[in-house]
Structure 1
Amino acid sequence: MLFNGLPHESISKLERPIPVREQVYEALRKLISSQSLHPGQRLVESELAGHLGVSRQPVREALQRLNSEGWVDLRPAQGAFVHEPTGDETDQLFGVRVVLETEAARLAAVGSCGEGLERLDELCARGEAAVAADDVETAVIANATFHACVVELAGNAVLAQLAAHVEQRVRRYFTPIVSQAWAEHRELIAAIAARDDARAQQVMRAHTVDARTRFPPRAGQLT
């Protein structure tokens, strides 16, 4: 055999380049989630291809994938449009968010550790300081990172994947107002530290249900 006698570690697999369609998909998803492409906006394949420096084929494939994931609407005889949620869809989205994050809080309390609690406390302090300094951008980032940390501490990879997807869709259409959230974050940290999973569930459920009123729609979006 060709490689007989060679140390196993000396044979490394070649790294394959990322397919163009995958790169286009990621680029368009980021443009949509950042609101650079806003809900309801028409997406012209030739314009997107020119902007990204690719042919129309990978753009078409990326749009089909984005359509299947709910980021884009493909309308017969009209073309592709950035998806715009209905009021019912918004309510369902926030409902799923409540379920996922409530369960994440329960699991985090069951398996809490000192390092994770320190991280939550640090993020909470960062958010409180940002609110005091009227630094909205830092407060929003700290809030999102705090919730992501709770999900991470839950130790459930499937839940984390679902929660991240829902959170992306929520933040695509809504801008959180986080100045009121930090006292509840402190309550959640205390419940997780006490390993009180029932209390952690209760605090997170109330927090995420109430969050619907703390996420005003972005300009021009539905309530």
Structure 2
Amino acid sequence: MLHSVQAGAKIPRPATLRESVIEAIQELIVSGQLKPGQHLVESELAELLGVSRQPVREALQQLSGEGWVDLHPGQGAFVHVPTVEEADQLLAVRALLETESARLAAQHASEEGVKRLRELCARGTAAVEADEIDTAVATNSELHALVTALSGNKVLAELAAQVARRVRWYHTPVARQRGMTSWREHAALIDAIEAGDGERAAHIMREHTEHTRASYMEQRAGEPVEPLPKPVRRRRPRTLSAG
């Protein structure tokens, strides 16, 4: 009987148009092409992404629920401006997850895994030397994701993946400031993982993530917490003169 078949047997469906639009808008925000506080005009986004306004409207609604977009009645949608507190909390959680990832990676990483880490480190270093910040940020995310994957803990990897995109959003503004120092820290981390020294790998990762958090907080220190969108000035209907 078909009714006895478990729901898990369903064939995974491809991403819907709305999901693809959500992904695209998130990437525009993370990469800095859409700035915090920027007004998001449905028609402009629809034209940019080559879709109709309906999936854009649906995407903005969902992104609002996930904290990427703020909806202001009568004014529209705006890219969320992370508060200092929420950024600090997320980066603190990231530090906990990735510190444990590094400790476990030192216990479980294979020679091939270490080789892949070194390749990413070399690519990231070259990107910083060439002042290719977007490439450096993307490679940084790849390297951290690989460390988590090498930990062998799937639950830890899933949790880290949930915060990874927002971490990349916070990291992008300070990537140039962190510069080559960040990649020297990566190299030291890889050395500890290759040596199988879990405690040292954890210590280096803890310090590394704290440096990024401190850089972000320092940059935000002089900024307003949340700039409000400018009110929309509505024009009064023009009246015809009697003359």
TM-score tier (shorter): 0.7 to 0.9
Structure 1 gap ranges (5+): 1-12
SS at match of 1:179: helix
Q: Is the 8 A contact 1:85 1:222 kept in 2?
A: no
Question: Per-residue CA shift, 1:108-148, capped at 9, x if unaligned?
Answer: 112121111111222233444455x4444354444333222
Identity over aligned pairs, percent? 57
Return closer, same or farther for 1:146/1:26 CA change in 2, 3 Å cut-off.
closer
Shift of 1:186: 2.7
What residue is the counterpart of 1:180 in the other structure? 181
Return closer, same or farther for 1:46/1:79 CA change in 2, 3 Å cut-off.
same
Does residue 170 of structure 1 match 2:167?
Answer: yes
Distance in 1, Cα, partners of 2:181 & 2:91: 18
Distance in 1, Cα, partners of 2:137 & 2:60: 29
Distance in 1, Cα, partners of 2:20 & 2:125: 37
SS at match of 2:71: strand
Return closer, same or farther for 1:37/1:53 CA change in 2, 3 Å cut-off.
same
Return closer, same or farther for 1:222/1:191 CA change in 2, 3 Å cut-off.
farther
Query: After the TM superposition, which residues 187-202 of structure 1 pair with which residues of structure 2 at under 5 Å, given as runs?
Result: 187-202=188-203
Shift of 1:49: 3.2
Distance in 2, Cα, partners of 1:158 & 1:199: 23
What residue is the counterpart of 1:59 in the other structure? 56
What amino acid maps onto 1:103 in structure 2?
A: E
Alignment TM-score, normalising by the size of structure 1:
0.78
Distance in 1, Cα, partners of 2:18 & 2:91: 31
How many corresponding residue pairs?
209
Distance in 2, Cα, partners of 1:136 & 1:51: 24
Return closer, same or farther for 1:222/1:148 CA change in 2, 3 Å cut-off.
farther
What amino acid maps onto 1:175 in structure 2?
A: V
SS at match of 2:174: coil
Deviates more, 1:200-209 or 1:144-153: 144-153
What amino acid maps onto 1:97 in structure 2?
A: R
SS at match of 1:36: coil
Alignment TM-score, normalising by the size of structure 2:
0.72
What amino acid maps onto 2:192 in structure 1?
A: A
SS at match of 2:206: helix
What residue is the counterpart of 1:92 in the other structure? 89
What amino acid maps onto 1:31 in structure 2?
A: L
Structure 2 gap ranges (5+): 1-9, 226-243
Distance in 2, Cα, partners of 1:88 & 1:42: 23
Does residue 123 of structure 1 match 2:120?
Answer: yes
Q: Is the 8 A contact 1:86 1:222 kept in 2?
A: no
